[in-house]
Amino acid sequence: MDLSLLTNQLTRKLHLFFNIKTDEGPLLIFSGLYFYLLLCAYYIIRPIRNEMLIQNGVDNIQWLLMAAAGAMIIITPVFGWLTSRFKTQHFLTICTLFFAGNLLVFFSFFEQFSELKQSVWVSRSFYVWVNIFNMFIISLFWSYMNDSFSKSQAKRLFSAVAAGGTAGALTGPIITASLVEEIGLSYLLLISAGILSSTIICILKIKNIAKQLNQPSNANLTDQSSAKTTEKHTLDNRLKGGIFDGIKHTWSSPYLRMISCFVIVFAIISTFLSIELARTIEQVFQNSEERTKLFSLADLAANSLTLFLQIFLTSRLINWISYKYTLMILPVFLTMGFILIGFFPSFISLIILSVFTRAGKYAILNPTSEMLFSIVSREEKYRAKNFIDTAIVRSSNVFSSWLITAVKAIGAGSQGVLILGSILGVTWCVISHWLGEKYQNTNNNTTVSNNSK
């Protein structure tokens, strides 16, 4: 079948669920496919990562998170060097092949140590690596989307792009749950590496489609707006500035600093929740494959709910209740959840809160929070965003793990952790309100520059 005919047919079907224009179909389809493959590759190995945590002991998580945060800080200037030396599509390709190659290396290690407990450093290294891979590659993806979609397109279509990723996040756990007992952990890494490498095709297609879609001759655009949009979509250019500009941009901008606070608080709260869940599963299940399968099924439940919300709710929320209140949905929900579980703790309620939190994160929070970067400069989209999404988030994970240790050391226990999470949740709600107001009040034809913040 002709590719253009296929994309037109898919566009007509997508129009039933999302506010999409006919000429935007190919861009949306390949962006959704890119995210589908990316999250499919990640969710194949995510349950394995969680199993590595349990094999090393949940109580030792702070040391693993410290290693991940330290690696992020080291990688940040390397990433800055790549973005200033290579064109956008080139450094995306380089990063993708680098991570796929890493999976091949871990495959050889997993094969050499069939019983991973024989080599604690292999399991520890894999846990740290997956945390780096997850934050780094997904941050790059959303930077690329903000670079490829205009602000008006982002508002209408990011939820559809996120739905493509959720479909991949559903496929990955199914692959792992279905095959882990048949082929073992190591060969799942090969499958993930192959899927990850295939995203390079989407990277190249998106660049060409975005450039064609936003040419000045497009009848849907005025000459002035076309020129601005075409400049926005100059994906062939290298980024300006030095290798430490991500840190400089974040520090000098009140807007980016507040985004940093937003992700810091959420990282702390979500780490609280994930550690308590892992600790509970560790106490209930003894077999490695059973735990890996359980993590896969939990991912499947959360991602199924995510896809349902993205198709039937997310794209309509901003029009119904405004951007600001859409951004605040998960902070309010998670705060209320922590308050209830803090006073009435139970295993079932913890699992339910975890599933709904992850669904809300991917269905509602991620599409709306990623839009916060649509009003900043191109350099900030890549460098500042990557620094925030990687080094800052992982450093927050480390802080939260030590905070849990401190709370339990004084005898507060799990209930004290949950009550502290509810207090942080209130803070998160306030930050979300401020960012939502700032985004809505920013002129659609301007970007937030350091001079105007």
- DSSP letters, 333-349, are HHHHHHHHHHHS--HHH
- Please, how many CA atoms are within 13 Å of residue 296, restricted to the half-sphere of its CB? 23
Q: What pLDDT shows up at residue 42?
A: 93
Long-range contacts of 400-407, Cβ-Cβ distance < 8 Å, separation of 24 or more: 400/267, 400/268, 400/269, 400/271, 400/272, 401/61, 401/62, 401/65, 401/271, 401/275, 402/62, 403/268, 404/271, 404/272, 404/275, 405/59, 405/62
Query: By CB neighbour count within 10 A (0-12 exposed, 13-18 middle, 19+ buried), where does 223 fall?
Result: exposed
Residue 14 has pLDDT above 50, yes or no: yes
| Closest among 97, 449, 369, 89 to 239, alpha carbons compared | 89
Q: What pLDDT shows up at residue 453?
A: 39
**Residue 330 one-letter amino acid:** L
- Contact criterion met (CB below 8 Å) for 373 and 235: no
- Contact criterion met (CB below 8 Å) for 199 and 34: yes
Least confident of 139-143, 319-323, 367-371, 395-399: 395-399
Between CA 272 and CA 414 the distance in angstroms is 9
Between CA 319 and CA 317 the distance in angstroms is 5
Query: What is the pLDDT confidence band of residue 427, given thresholds at 50, 70 and 90?
Result: very high
How far are the Cα atoms of 136, 254, 299 from residue 375, in angstroms, in the given order?
21, 14, 32
Q: What pLDDT shows up at residue 16?
A: 57
Token pair of 58, please?
């949940």
In the predicted model, what is the mean pLDDT of residues 162-187? 84
Query: What is the pLDDT confidence band of residue 193, given thresholds at 50, 70 and 90?
Result: very high
Between CA 146 and CA 372 the distance in angstroms is 10
Q: Report the range out of 23-32, 165-174, 189-198 with the highest average pLDDT.
A: 189-198
Q: Report the range out of 35-49, 222-236, 296-310, 345-359 with the highest average pLDDT.
A: 35-49
Token pair of 439, please?
């985004």
In the predicted model, what is the mean pLDDT of residues 40-61? 77
How far are the Cα atoms of 116, 137, 163, 306 from residue 363, in angstroms, in the given order?
35, 19, 7, 5
How far are the Cα atoms of 32, 111, 165, 176, 316 from residue 364, in angstroms, in the given order?
16, 39, 13, 26, 11
Residue bearing the bigger pLDDT, 106 or 342: 106
For CA atoms 298, 259, 442, 147, give the dihedral sign.
Answer: negative
One DSSP character per residue, 54-89 reads: HHH-GGGHHHHHHHHHHHHHHHHHHHHHHHHHS-HH
Q: What pLDDT shows up at residue 56?
A: 67
Residue bearing the bigger pLDDT, 100 or 10: 100
Residue bearing the bigger pLDDT, 367 or 221: 367
Residue bearing the bigger pLDDT, 393 or 415: 393
- Contact criterion met (CB below 8 Å) for 317 and 194: no
Over its C-alpha atoms, the chain yields an Rg (Å, rounded) of 21
Q: What pLDDT shows up at residue 225?
A: 42
Residue 220 has pLDDT above 50, yes or no: no
Q: Is the pTM of this model over 0.85?
A: no
Token pair of 345, please?
């703790």
Between CA 132 and CA 137 the distance in angstroms is 8
Largest CA distance in the chain: 67
Q: Say what the alpha-carbon torsion angle 23, 25, 31, 32 is, to the nearest 10 degrees.
A: 160
Residue bearing the bigger pLDDT, 127 or 190: 190
| Closest among 1, 29, 4, 2 to 14, alpha carbons compared | 29
Share of the chain above pLDDT 90, in %: 13
Q: What pLDDT shows up at residue 228?
A: 41
437-450 tens-digit pLDDT? 888 887 544 545 44
Q: Which domains does the chain have, with CATH numbers?
A: 3-441 (1.20.1250.20)
Tell me how crowded residue 185 is: count the other CB atoms within 10 A of its CB: 24
Those residues whose C-beta lies under 8 Å from the C-beta of residue 141, and which sit 6 or more positions away, are 34, 35, 38
